[in-house]
Structure 1
Amino acid sequence: MAAAERVRSAACRLARRLTWRGLLLVALLVWAAQQALLLFPGETLRDRLLYRVAVIREPSGVIITKKASQLPDSAFSEEQKATLRTVFQWATTPTTRCVRQSTFGGQPYLSSQIETHILEGDRPVCFDAGFSIADPTRPCVVYSFGIKDDWSFDDAMARFGCEVHAFDPSIGAAPERRPSGVRFHPVGIGRNDHVNVYGWRIRTLDTVVRELGHAQRPRLSYLKVDGEGAEFDMLSQQLLDARGERALDKFDQIGMEVHFRKAPETEMEFYSRVANLTVRLRQRGWEVAESVPNKIYNKWFHFPGLDKPASHMFDMLLLRPQRV
């Protein structure tokens, strides 16, 4: 009883000392905790913990939403709206699941405008049975298009034991082989072989596979594409142009950042092509295992035909298990 009285007495003294300033401080701490745990659309608590986000996007802690088009929704036909729904449903709806998944690479995103500990450049890799990377008796070969200044994924896959080929025509001179063993090629990926207006060499996936001597290999492990829109040029050449050796069929995993376009009133030809690509991908056995809205860009858009705003950039993992 004496102990209980002492506890009760201490609690009363603490309550008397808790002035309005103390109450305000407690309220601010509670508010800060709520903001720190606020989840954004499409984000789970696992994402928040995995990427160790401290302060992200805007200081207000919310996604900024804007209209994707200057025209009202009524200016778009039902067919056009259905096309946009097809594209964004594909990009936001996983159709398969990887049980044994790991993340490779990633480095903190640096921003001069906001404090952030977001990890970017990381890629999911599936180790379920049926994927060549999960079979230690098979060689692991990774193609990585789009480097800029982030080699973390490439180096991590090389340390894992894979033969890694990294491609980027925009970063100038770089060693042909990094200390990790990654082999660098100053080449970009596209719909046809050409030299673009910047003087960059662009090659199709078929050409790259042939030039690296992999045309006779039945399987390649992983294709990463982060080319600011080049992903759809590559897929168009492979799936729509009705020519080429379909080098894409050699891979069983694609990790790519997809970039959709704003102002759909002028981009419906692009969206029709992407909608067609999603159908062709499913026909060839490609399923969406993961799709995460871009963690850096905080603006989401109201697209005609969609019932809620969406990001126009997604980090996706596509899987196509191949049985031996």
Structure 2
Amino acid sequence: MAEPAATGKVSKRSTQKHCLLYLAAMLLSLSAITVVLVLMSQLGSFDGELWSRWSRRHPTRPRAVTTLPEMPEDDRQMAARLFRYLSRPSGAACRRLLRFGGTPSLKLHGMVLNLEGGEMACLDPEFALTGLDCLVYSLRAGGDSSLEAALERYGCSVHSFDAAATEAEAADGPGTIHQAALTEHVTLDELRTSLGHLHEPIAFLSVTAPGAEELVLCRPEALRRVQQLALRLSFSEALSDEARAFALFRRRYGQLLRLQELGFRPFAFEQLDSHGAVNMTVPGLAEPLTSVMEVVFLNAGERAQPTLATSALTLRGLRS
């Protein structure tokens, strides 16, 4: 009668051992993935000279773009076209994407590891953020600053505008933080003029402050010299009333049509589950979307022009 008891103990110990080994393997895997995500979030600091070599050795091909058709009169059809345009940018619009910034985050729904914060940028040669022309503006309201820190490490001149920033925050950076903001009475051109940047191209403009997207989109002519535009779009406040929601959708549709006329095309899209986001069902789309999203656009009419700095980088890359 002793043998079954002994066998039972051995079996129990064996099961416990396997469980411990499984947990150890899971922890090692999570640690390895976290390290990879941290490294990914730091990639914005890699050397511009290496990128110049890569760009020279890999010539560009004609790019496909996602276009927004004329606005239909039917509200449901209009909403479907709008969100299909925003959520399905052409993968060929930009061939070399890189996320700048972001903080590794573990979400327990399905054990998903991802990066929260930061923005996608296009590093195709005609839009590469290299040389002295890499001027970055960020219209923000506190929160994550990993995007600005990564772009500064990459070699860009970064200017953030945050009216709520304290003196200590403004002094610490990253980049230069200005205690100012875009308002109905202060335009983007006025902010640029105050810093002597009115006639300089903006390589990357990030718009994440609440309400700033409306102020930027209602004056699209100020975006002519912007090469890449990252917009955080929020539709949360209008969802409680269908008529109000369709009115906001139609206003955004018209603003994006004007943006398209200037040469802007979407190349990256991301749904956010923070900043007051809720799930919304859009007529004509099979899957629901979150009411807060970030879309990044390229301005095909405002491409990076080679300067002495970028030419020097390229020459050194060719000689080595």
TM-score by length of 1: 0.64
Q: Encode CA deviations 1:209-268: one digit per residue, 9 max, x unaligned.
A: 122211122x22100110223213311122xxxxxxx23111110122221232333233
Unaligned runs of 5+ in 1: 1-13, 38-45, 53-76, 194-202, 239-245
* 2:123 corresponds to 1:127: yes
2:293 to 294, 297, 314: 314
**Hey, what does 1:103 align to over in structure 2?**
99
**Hey, what does 2:140 align to over in structure 1?**
146
Unaligned runs of 5+ in 2: 1-6, 40-71, 306-320
Question: Does the aligned pair in 2 maintain the 1:84–1:306 contact within 8 Å?
Answer: no
Question: Does the aligned pair in 2 maintain the 1:222–1:252 contact within 8 Å?
Answer: yes
* 2:274 corresponds to 1:279: no
* 2:297 corresponds to 1:302: no
Q: Encode CA deviations 1:42-72: one digit per residue, 9 max, x unaligned.
A: xxxx9xx8599xxxxxxxxxxxxxxxxxxxx
- How far is 1:270 from its partner? 1.6
Question: Does the aligned pair in 2 maintain the 1:220–1:250 contact within 8 Å?
Answer: yes
Q: 1:283 to 1:51 in 2, by over 3 A?
A: farther
Q: Which amino acid in the other structure matches residue 213 of structure 1?
A: G
Q: Which amino acid in the other structure matches residue 313 of structure 1?
A: V
**Hey, what does 2:65 align to over in structure 1?**
none
Distance (Å, rounded) in 2 between the aligned partners of 1:315 and 1:265: 24
* 2:181 corresponds to 1:188: yes
Q: 1:141 to 1:249 in 2, by over 3 A?
A: same
Distance (Å, rounded) in 2 between the aligned partners of 1:129 and 1:177: 34
Q: 3-state SS of the aligned residue for 2:219?
A: helix
* 2:267 corresponds to 1:289: yes
- How far is 1:80 from its partner? 1.2
Question: Does the aligned pair in 1 maintain the 2:96–2:124 contact within 8 Å?
Answer: yes
- How far is 1:315 from its partner? 2.1
Question: Does the aligned pair in 2 maintain the 1:90–1:278 contact within 8 Å?
Answer: no
Structure with the bigger percentage of helix: 2
With 292-301 and 266-275 compared, the bigger mean Cα shift is at 292-301
2:227 to 240, 252, 264: 252
Distance (Å, rounded) in 1 between the aligned partners of 2:202 and 2:273: 29
> How many residue pairs were aligned?
249
TM-score by length of 2: 0.65
**Hey, what does 2:52 align to over in structure 1?**
none
Distance (Å, rounded) in 2 between the aligned partners of 1:110 and 1:172: 30
- How far is 1:150 from its partner? 2.0
Question: Does the aligned pair in 2 maintain the 1:120–1:295 contact within 8 Å?
Answer: no
Distance (Å, rounded) in 1 between the aligned partners of 2:15 and 2:177: 59
Distance (Å, rounded) in 2 between the aligned partners of 1:79 and 1:268: 10
Q: 1:80 to 1:101 in 2, by over 3 A?
A: same
Tell me how large the CA RMSD over aligned residues is: 4.0
Distance (Å, rounded) in 1 between the aligned partners of 2:251 and 2:38: 33
Question: Does the aligned pair in 1 maintain the 2:277–2:292 contact within 8 Å?
Answer: no
Distance (Å, rounded) in 2 between the aligned partners of 1:308 and 1:110: 23
Q: Which amino acid in the other structure matches residue 147 of structure 2?
A: F
**Hey, what does 1:227 align to over in structure 2?**
209
Distance (Å, rounded) in 2 between the aligned partners of 1:131 and 1:148: 27
Q: 1:320 to 1:174 in 2, by over 3 A?
A: same
Question: Does the aligned pair in 1 maintain the 2:161–2:177 contact within 8 Å?
Answer: yes
Q: Which amino acid in the other structure matches residue 255 of structure 2?
A: L
* 2:203 corresponds to 1:209: no
- How far is 1:125 from its partner? 1.8
Question: Does the aligned pair in 2 maintain the 1:132–1:220 contact within 8 Å?
Answer: no
Distance (Å, rounded) in 2 between the aligned partners of 1:307 and 1:100: 29
Distance (Å, rounded) in 2 between the aligned partners of 1:300 and 1:306: 13
Question: Does the aligned pair in 2 maintain the 1:141–1:164 contact within 8 Å?
Answer: yes
